Structure 1
Amino acid sequence: MLSVRLDPETEQQLADILSHEQNINRSELIKRLIKERWLTLKLDRTFVERRGGHPQHLLHDAPPDLSERETRKQAIADYLKHRHS
């Protein structure tokens, strides 16, 4: 449990943020802000590491030319066709 006293200006800023955000209460907003700040402090880690690392087995059987637009489009089309059949 944490109790914080805010000056009127900070209280107004918090109210402004809450009015801009939708479906979030003060506690959730403060938790989110703390987590965002905490993540920025981990500067020794790369962006991918901060986000949990590379997905495992995502591209284990991908063709070597998957970065080509036409190959990607065909791979997505094949995946969607297989998924919805």
Structure 2
Amino acid sequence: MLTVRLNEETERQLAELLAHETNANRSDLIKRLIRERWLSLQLGKTIVERRGGHPQHLLTDASPDRSERSNRKQAIANYLQNRHS
């Protein structure tokens, strides 16, 4: 829970924003504005940074040639075959 004290000008601006919104109360509007601002800050980051960085142990047991297409396809086929056996 958060309590925020707004000055008169900010209170007026919030009222104007609410007047243009349909089906939104103060709480919903403030949540949406915070989310929009937060998302705008994320634009400068790469997709990997936005998702929390590179996985640390994802490829620890992978063979060095796993990045080649034929090897990836074979690894996926083996995994699916073992999974459905």
TM-score interval, normalised by the smaller of the two chains: 0.5 to 0.7
Is residue 6 from structure 1 mapped to residue 17 from structure 2 by the alignment? Answer: yes
Distance 1:34 1:79 in 2: 42
1:43-54 mapped onto 2 (5 Å cutoff): 43=44, 47=46, 48-54=48-54
Deviation at 1:26, TM superposition (A): 6.2
Question: How much is the aligned-residue C-alpha RMSD, in angstroms?
Answer: 3.1
Instruction: Identify unmatched segments of 5+ residues in structure 1.
Output: 16-24
> Identity of counterpart residues, as a percentage?
47
Q: Give the secondary-structure state (helix, strand or coil) at the position aligned to 1:77.
A: helix
- For residues 60 and 82 of structure 2, what CA distance do their matches in structure 1 show? 18
Give unpaired runs (5+ residues) of structure 2: 5-10, 23-27
Bigger radius of gyration: 2
How many residues of Structure 1 are paired with residues of Structure 2 in the alignment?
68
Q: How does 1:1-85 map to 2 (within 5 A)?
A: 4=14, 5-6=16-17, 11=20, 29-40=32-43, 43=44, 47=46, 48-85=48-85
Q: Is the 8 A contact 2:42 2:50 kept in 1?
A: yes
- The separation in 1 between residues aligned to 2:76 and 2:30, in whole angstroms, is 40
Offset from partner CA, 1:5-39 (integer Å, 9 cap, x none): 3298xx4xx77xxxxxxxxx867754542331132
Report how far residue 57 of structure 1 moved.
1.4
Distance 1:7 1:32, change over 3 A: closer
